[in-house]
Amino acid sequence: MWDAEYDLIIIGSGFAGLAAALEARKHCSSIIVLEKMRVPGGNSVISGGLVAAAGSELQRQAGIEDSPELMMADMLAAGMKLNQPELVRIVAERSVEALQWTIDDLGVKYKPRLSHLGGHSVPRTYNTIETSGSGIIRPMLTRCRKLGIPVQLKTLFKRFVLDENDEVEGVMVSENYIFPNPKTGEIRRLRAKKAVVLAAGGFAQDITFRTIQNPNLTADIESTNQPGATAESLIEAIRIGATPIQLSLIQLGPWASRDEEGFGVGSMFSMLAGFPYGILVDRSSGRRFVNELSDRKLLVDAMLNSGREAVAIVDSKGVQHASTLEKCLKRGVVKQYESIDELANDNRIPLEALKNTILSYNASVEKGVDDEFGKPITDDLSPIQFPPYFSIRLISKVHHCMGGLRINTKAQVMHVRTQQPIGRLYAAGEITGGIHGASRLGSNAITDCLVFGRIAGRNAAQEPSRR
């Protein structure tokens, strides 16, 4: 009846799946990770590699006071309290432990400075040296190889197989599958003696499914995600009774460039330099219109949903924080100008209005308070006055699914009828819902995936083994 048998089957090779696999390996030996694409890593490997942690070593060195309570308060505020508080608490409380695990166990290298991303009360974001999630995924894959955990590519998860008690006993997959062709691959049945962990990510690239959830997110709106970020695993979990939660809460990224596809190199420029150290202006009026360090939902509402065409502007001092500057300039995503006059002219921004905007922003920086929009004026902010100046033209792109499967604090998937765990089924990462509520804060997804991936792996591996 079965083509192969393992203790644990993990679906998805991103942060959540690999964290689950590595943690599970401490408790059981026969683990397989299944991945439908030709390359491992999903959205995780193309991510910016920004990781939030509350109470970290870099914060201590910089004298920044932070706590899991403050991180939790930030998550609930951005999430408009649609988050499940017991799950939020776990992410915040274990954020440092997860970060430290990547450093101590995996050897991940981070830059020596923290970033202050929108919606976080204090700087708490670590940046990988590579400015990319590959800086974490690569060591995870190397560790999997060392520990004998196969990551089987081109293997599409199709169905769960349940036992006589409606517990998950295995999966039906299509091996040698070539994404996205449904006619490729051979069907196999794989048995999980202990459990299955679903870590198949979000569905931002699934235009049919995402427009069912939010009809505004049509094919005209680009996405930052890898093409395999689709909904079939989520739908299959719902078929066997998993509880879907907040599926219409889909986040757009406000920092992406109009002048390149996907996440590209411009998004990190805006996130690390343009928004924290520069200003956002409405191209047609030349005026600021929002606190640049707001969370993503507020920014997108102020841009896309208000029909504004936004440009981020930063000077030569602020640009020092932009790790992708060279690539941005080379690709024409960011433009450099010797004067504000040149910048205004090239971007077709009314010059006098822009000059007044900059004067008024600079006065706020000098004063230490932004009366107009409430941007936090931190010690390392300086007036925009040192040429050359840099600009990036922005457009919002579909980025993150806050909704997904309901899990409990043990990462067990909850049945929609009973609200009891579905036997031997765990989930972690972006396929789960309810942790980030209405809006996920930047750099909190990696923390969530690592924390709950490890919880899922540990608990799944401790299920009693079937004969």
Catalytic residues: 296
Of the pair 45, 340, the CB lying nearest ligand FAD is at 45
Among positions 21, 37, 195, 249, the unique one binding ligand FAD when judged by CB under 6 A: 37
Considering only 48-56, 159-167, 322-330, 338-346, which stretch makes contact with ligand FAD by CB under 6 A? Answer: 48-56
The values of phi and psi at residue 128, to 5°, are -65, 155
Of the pair 77, 172, the CB lying nearest ligand FAD is at 172
- Which residue(s) pair with 129 in the sheet? none
Which DSSP state fits 204? Answer: T
131 binds ligand FAD (CB under 6 A): no
433 binds ligand FAD (CB under 6 A): no
The residue type of 186 is E
Considering only 208-216, 279-287, 380-388, 429-437, which stretch makes contact with ligand FAD by CB under 6 A? Answer: 429-437
Max CA distance (Å), the chain: 77
The residue type of 5 is E
CB of 177 to ligand FAD, least distance (A): 8
- d(CA 49, CA 59) in angstroms, rounded, equals 18
Among positions 9, 20, 34, 314, the unique one binding ligand FAD when judged by CB under 6 A: 34
CB of 325 to ligand FAD, least distance (A): 17
DSSP H/E element including 4: strand 4-11
Of the pair 160, 263, the CB lying nearest ligand FAD is at 263
Considering only 37-45, 240-248, 302-310, 343-351, which stretch makes contact with ligand FAD by CB under 6 A? Answer: 37-45
Of the pair 13, 257, the CB lying nearest ligand FAD is at 13
Of the pair 134, 211, the CB lying nearest ligand FAD is at 134
Backbone angle region of 429, left / alpha / beta, with phi > 0 → left and psi within -120 to 50 → alpha: left
157 binds ligand FAD (CB under 6 A): yes
- Residue 9, both tokens: 């089957």
Among positions 8, 9, 10, 16, the unique one binding ligand FAD when judged by CB under 6 A: 16
CB of 385 to ligand FAD, least distance (A): 30
- d(CA 336, CA 388) in angstroms, rounded, equals 6
Considering only 5-13, 107-115, 243-251, 346-354, which stretch makes contact with ligand FAD by CB under 6 A? Answer: 5-13
44 binds ligand FAD (CB under 6 A): yes
Among positions 23, 35, 206, 463, the unique one binding ligand FAD when judged by CB under 6 A: 35
Smallest CA-to-CA distance from 202 within 213, 189, 186, 193 is with 213
Could you tell me the end-to-end alpha-carbon distance of the chain, in angstroms, rounded to an integer?
15
Smallest CA-to-CA distance from 182 within 200, 160, 209, 158 is with 158
CB of 139 to ligand FAD, least distance (A): 15
Coil/strand/helix, residue 96: helix
Considering only 100-108, 312-320, 354-362, 428-436, which stretch makes contact with ligand FAD by CB under 6 A? Answer: 428-436
Of the pair 303, 445, the CB lying nearest ligand FAD is at 445
CB of 355 to ligand FAD, least distance (A): 34
24 binds ligand FAD (CB under 6 A): no
- Residue 323, both tokens: 């790790």
128 binds ligand FAD (CB under 6 A): no
Count the neighbouring beta carbons within 10 Å of the beta carbon of residue 330: 10
Closest residue to ligand FAD, Cβ-based? 14
Tell me the HSE value of 103 on the side-chain side, using a 13 A CA sphere. 19
- d(CA 157, CA 174) in angstroms, rounded, equals 7
42 binds ligand FAD (CB under 6 A): yes
- d(CA 9, CA 195) in angstroms, rounded, equals 7
Smallest CA-to-CA distance from 203 within 175, 171, 231 is with 231
Coil/strand/helix, residue 106: coil
Which residue is listed with tokens 């998004």?
267
Considering only 2-10, 85-93, 294-302, 445-453, which stretch makes contact with ligand FAD by CB under 6 A? Answer: 445-453
Q: What ranges make up the beta strands (E) of 295-353?
A: 310-315, 334-337
Smallest CA-to-CA distance from 191 within 461, 414, 467, 428 is with 467
The values of phi and psi at residue 216, to 5°, are -75, -20
From residue 253 to residue 282, what is the string marking binding to ligand FAD with x (rule CB under 6 A)? ----------x-------------------
Contact residues for ligand FAD (CB under 6 A)?
11-17, 34-37, 42-44, 46-50, 133, 156-157, 199-201, 224-225, 228-229, 232-233, 263, 400, 429-431, 443-446, 449
